[in-house]
Chains A and B, each alone.
Chain A
């Protein structure tokens, strides 16, 4: 009876959680592109990435959520902080982070947002996501190692090439 009711109505707790985390992500993302401090931008980006991991858990994609935390928050953010500190002598507020004609970005972003929202609402207006349990990691492993094996090998090659390329580029001769 309860399962029947929850199957065709909207899960309120899931929705509330989604919009709380979503509002946090939007505010943090706006801070990333508007803050005057490069290090603060990196720390706001951590909040966006953590919020995305939370949304993945809400969407029953636990393995992707854990990978997001490991790769983005663990590794990519450290790279960003290293990049900031190797290229900036001063840590703190600074001027001139924006282009002279940065104002063009606002209408472009708003038009794009209107277009994308219109298309999404027009196509998926009131379609409900099904309630599913956690995705078994075994299924992901089967997918990676049988139908998507060739892209997986290509990806391994990309990572190898990127690692060698980064070393070659950044090496001091």
Chain B
């Protein structure tokens, strides 16, 4: 199998995730797109771990998974807080701070 297979699949998932972050208005959907981006990064880490025959890439991938879990926990808590205060999680309504 070619190294570039994994890198191309990771690139496609990353770009789909970036599109989701830009295009979506619902905060939960933006968090899902961020998960897509993190998975693309993990694919690359695993591919390089296999290429170099070292476990370091796999350990980084495990750490990324743990950080992603923490991020989703805090992110969804913030989304629920915003929803409780405003009855909406539309990101383009959170515009009090624009100049």
Contacts and interface: CB of A to CB of B under 8 A. Distances in A.
Interface string B1-37: 1111111110111111111101111111101110110
Interface string B61-74: 11101111111111
B4 A125 contact: yes
17 contacts: A11-B1, A29-B13, A33-B16, A33-B19, A33-B36, A42-B32, A49-B35, A64-B42, A71-B65, A72-B65, A80-B72, A80-B76, A105-B18, A144-B62, A158-B66, A166-B73, A169-B77
B36 to A, nearest CB: 6
Interface residues of A, number: 87
Contacts of B73: 79, 162-163, 166
A84 B28 contact: yes
B69 A76 contact: yes
A67 B25 CA distance: 30
A15 to B, nearest CB: 6
B53 interface: yes
The DSSP consensus for interface residues of chain A is: helix
A162 B51 CA distance: 34
Residue among B1, B18, B33, B89 having the largest count of chain A Cβ atoms under 10 Å: B1
Contact of B59 (A22, A79, A97, A140): A140
Nearest to B78: A169
Given A55-B6, A130-B50, A97 B29 contact: yes
A17 to B, nearest CB: 9
A112 B5 CA distance: 17
B13 A26 contact: yes
Interface in A67-119: 67-68, 71-72, 75-76, 79-80, 82-84, 86-87, 96-100, 102, 104-106, 108-110, 112-113, 116-117
A83 B46 contact: no
Nearest to A81: B28
A35 to B, nearest CB: 9
